[in-house]
Amino acid sequence: MTTETLARTTPEEAAIEDLIACPHCDALYLAQMPAKGGRAVCSHCHTVLIAPRTKAGKKMIALTLTVMILVVAALFFPFLDINAGGIGNSTSILDAASSFRSGYMVFLSFLVAAAIIFVPLLRTVLILYVLIPVVRDRPALPHARRAFRLSQELKPWAMAEVFAIGCAVALVKVQDLAHIGFGPAFWMFSALVILVLINDNFLCTWSVWKSLELEND
């Protein structure tokens, strides 16, 4: 892909709010919204800068709501059950998160609970709070920018999908120790993981920032 033929402009000619700098290599561009479904890519390092999708906001909200309902529902149903030598046990996601009971291991319980429950839930709440007014063409709610920034900062620490793979590994590990069955929460959680993965692909953060820019809060 050659960019030599593209028209160029000097920084003095462009308004500062129309500029965009690649977060990975600092190359400066005049931001132009690509067609829906298209992408604007940094020509130096190939980082995707802008990637708007058709009806992205509405799809995001629908998916995010579903994620929230699934996380809450998954908390209250048994997740996995086990049977060996006539003795059975079933565990919920909350049990798994609080399984490190003794002494300093309690720290690990907090960590697991945060990574698979609190952070994913908080992110869905924050994203809904920011996106619902944007999609309905209403002014942003108070502190919407702070909320969106927090949702982006938390992204690497939401690990629901990693936990789901962990479940699959755990099942195989105890296969010769006991018989394991899936509870309803397990299937909810599997659906949730797929939704989380789709969801993250929908959100063009630059487009959201652009729409928040017009607001005063």
Partner 1 sequence: MVCMEIARAGKRLTARDAGLVACRRCARVWPMGQARCGRCGSHLESRDARSLQKVWAWWIAGVIAYIPANLYPMLKTNTLVSHTENTIIGGAVELAHHGSFGVAAIILIASVLIPVGKFLAIAFLAIGARRGSSVPPRTRTHMFEIVEFIGRWSMIDVFVVAILSSLVQLSVVASIQPGPAAMTFALSVICTMLSAQAFDPRLIWDAVRRQQPRKTS
Q: Which residues bind Zn ion (CB under 5 A)?
A: 22, 24-25, 27, 42, 44-45, 47
Q: How far apart are CA 130 and CA 143, in angstroms?
A: 9
Site residues (CB under 8 A) for partner 1, limited to 184-213? 205-206, 209, 212-213
- Write the binding mask 34 to 73 for partner 1: x where contact by CB under 8 A, - elsewhere: xx--xxxxxxxxxx-xx-----------------------
- Write the binding mask 146 to 165 for partner 1: x where contact by CB under 8 A, - elsewhere: x-xx--xx--xx-x--xx-x
Q: How far apart are CA 177 and CA 170, in angstroms?
A: 12
Q: 3-class SS at 49?
A: strand
- Near partner 1 by CB under 8 A, which window of 52-60, 65-73, 111-119, 189-197? 111-119
Decide if residue 167 touches partner 1 (CB under 8 A): yes
Decide if residue 15 touches partner 1 (CB under 8 A): no
Distances (CA, A) of 51 to 6, 116, 167, 203, 205: 20, 28, 33, 8, 9
Decide if residue 122 touches partner 1 (CB under 8 A): no
Q: How far apart are CA 143 and CA 161, in angstroms?
A: 29
Residue 137 interacts with which of partner 1, Zn ion, none, CB < 5 to 8 Å by class: none
Q: 3-class SS at 20?
A: strand
Q: How far apart are CA 86 and CA 94, in angstroms?
A: 24
